Chain A
Amino acid sequence: MLTFIIRRLLIVIPMLLVISFLVYLGLELTPGDAVSHMIDPEAASQMSPAQFEALREALGLNKSFLERYATWVYNMLHGDFGRSLSGGVPISEIFLDRLPATLELSFLALLFSTVIGCSLGTISALKRGTATDSSLTVIGMLGVSIPEFFFGLVSILIFALHLRWLPVGGRLMPGYETFLDRAPHIILPALVLSLMMTAGVMRYSRAAMLDSLSREFIRTARSKGLPEWRINFVHGFRVALTPVVVLIGFRLPTLIGGSVIIEEVFQWPGIGSEFIGAVRGADYPLVMMIALFSVFAVLMASLIVDVLTAIIDPRVRLS
């Protein structure tokens, strides 16, 4: 198991290199560079070509594409993640500042969707064909098909503006306020972010549970005289868990990327909103880092899924 994990971690390095090159190439191919985005058109019209050149040189944009990429990789390997072109802030600082907010939101959303999705899906499967099952199915379909920004706005309208139960948005910095002060701010965005995934997990765990309950070992368990709860949960649910864990694991990176819209709607100062600005401004060091981070998240999620399935399902062997 340990060799497997180490090997998988080593594979991550060449993959990150290849992907970083592709992203770099993509940025190179987009029209305009950081300089043309940084300076507003009016000021730009009064600048001499020499001034432009000087600015480009200062930012290292005058070198050839491959040279710049090589420098970037060299710096990366030495732990220098570069500075944002637009503000001059070190990117590591931006990450330290923004990443906790995004991770906080994503993991809470993951927790909500896993717990709510699995329980509702299991209830749905156990009450198959009843009114409960049908209404949960309808709710699930709604959850999958209505876009999350809409849910976000509606929930702000209802819970923040009308009922005044929860704040409209924003995030309080850790350390300055108590947990109880901070907690209400994350509830709405986390719930809305988890909603779509909850619906997915629910449908999926319902199907997995039904499949598992129709298998023959359930009949064997029943023939042993076990009580119904043990048949359903110890035997049925445990087997249904494997496909559900795979689904949840692979949704993990999507959740980090998918929080872009929710972060905008709820004014949540995470990495997602930063990403939008960086792409608009052709701020390539920042875009590169965020892109690499997402790739890293995907690769890590797939590693976690593999390890988890091996733990849950004894038939799976890591090699």
Chain B
Amino acid sequence: MTGEVALSVKNLKTFFYTNNRCNKAVNGVSFDIKKGRTLCVVGESGCGKSVTASTIMQLLPSLSRIEEGSITYHAEAGDIRIDQLDRDGKEMRRIRGSEIAMIFQDPMTALNPVYTIGFQIGESLKYHTDLSAKARHAKVVDLLANMGIPEPERRAKEYPHKYSGGMRQRALIAMAMSCNPKILIADEPTTALDVTIQAQIFRLMDELKEQHGTAIMLITHDMGVVAELADEVIVMYMGNIVEAGTVDDILRRPKHPYTRALLDSIPVLGRGRNQDIKSIRGATPDPYQRPKGCQFSPRCDFATETCSAMPDEEYITETHRVSCHHYKDISQHD
């Protein structure tokens, strides 16, 4: 079962329209999310990671739309083209929460302050299962206990403000996992939490993956997290996938200049305080005034004239793909 494709995204383009201008937030990305695997999506702020996730869940703001491409959810009953579903239609609502669930960046604001945790988790069950009120309550307590929340019976009756940040995120994961979704999308789930709690949350997610065979799409900008959790990695820049592969492909054999620069910009424990941390020069371009061709070329040390044309995606190995004109020349120096 592990390794089977749960969801495939093909040439997805999501554009935002504001003030008669068009922001091509996601500009043609393709990837697969596999059962029992963790796919990490990395990239700097504004590269389209979160928009990709929201597009899969159809949680986009009203001034945006899927311009091209397809999102296919491989359900047990047959394939479902998510991109063709009505945004808030019945079918999409059925998939949300029960088949594909999502957890968000900031657990402090993601819960409704005026309802108990138990009520909010129970809501998912109410809409996606036939359980009775009593059975729902039992299930909620069970879920909270599984997430390592002490005294779940009492805690279920409490309001979010009585929970710490880490506990709220656990409650949100409990909510997301309540209907045993096939896919869990986590949008920087630990950015707002401190490091010790981060480790706990990730361990929890790893356990879920092992136990239920859930496919996880984890959005992050923390390379440490990638090394720890990822099976596959996608590197995004300005709405495109610049490089994708297994975690070994990306971390040990990075080909794209952006991936390499990203890895060079992280301090490594044990190299001492005088280690050379390189920042990527320049700034992320304005999404409304994009560079021509390769989006990274203005900041790239290896850019040449050929880079003013968009590079094609090339498969180096069966799993490892990269979009760069010069990746062969660059990796010769290794």
Contacts and interface: CB of A to CB of B under 8 A. Distances in A.
Interface of A: 215-217, 219-228, 235, 238-239, 242, 312-315
Contacts, number: 74
Contact of B88 (A216, A228, A235): A228
Given A216-B106, A239-B112, 7 more contacts: A217-B109, A223-B57, A223-B102, A224-B101, A225-B98, A314-B159, A314-B161
B110 interface: yes
B255 interface: no
A225 B96 contact: yes
B113 A314 contact: yes
Interface in B83-117: 88, 92-98, 101-102, 104, 106, 109-115
A238 B116 CA distance: 13
Contact of A315 (B93, B101, B102, B159): B159
B330 to A, nearest CB: 40
Contact of B114 (A220, A227, A312): A312
B175 A224 contact: yes
Interface stretch (B123-131, B147-155, B296-304): B123-131
Contacts of B175: 220, 224
A221 B59 CA distance: 11
B172 interface: yes
Contact of B104 (A219, A238, A313): A219
A272 to B, nearest CB: 38
B interface residue count range (under 10 / 10 to 19 / 20 to 34 / 35 or more): 20 to 34
Contacts of B161: 314-315
A225 B124 contact: yes
* Residue of A220, A226, A239, A312 contacting most chain B CB atoms (<10 Å): A220
Contacts of A221: 112, 123
Contacts of A226: 93, 97, 123, 127
A221 B110 CA distance: 9
Nearest to A223: B102
B95 A225 contact: yes
Nearest to B105: A216
7 contacts: A219-B59, A220-B111, A221-B112, A222-B59, A223-B57, A223-B102, A227-B93
A227 B101 CA distance: 15
A165 B92 CA distance: 51
Contacts of B101: 223-224
B113 A313 contact: yes
A315 B92 CA distance: 34
A309 to B, nearest CB: 11
Contacts of B115: 235, 238
A223 B95 CA distance: 9
Contact of B112 (A217, A223, A225): A217
Contacts of A224: 96-97, 101, 123-124, 127, 175
A222 B110 contact: no
A215 B109 contact: yes
Nearest to B106: A216
Contacts of B172: 220
Contacts of A228: 88
A139 to B, nearest CB: 25
Contacts of B159: 314-315
Nearest to A312: B114
Contacts of A219: 59, 104, 110
Given A239-B113, A314-B161, A220 B104 contact: yes
Nearest to A238: B114
Contacts of B98: 225
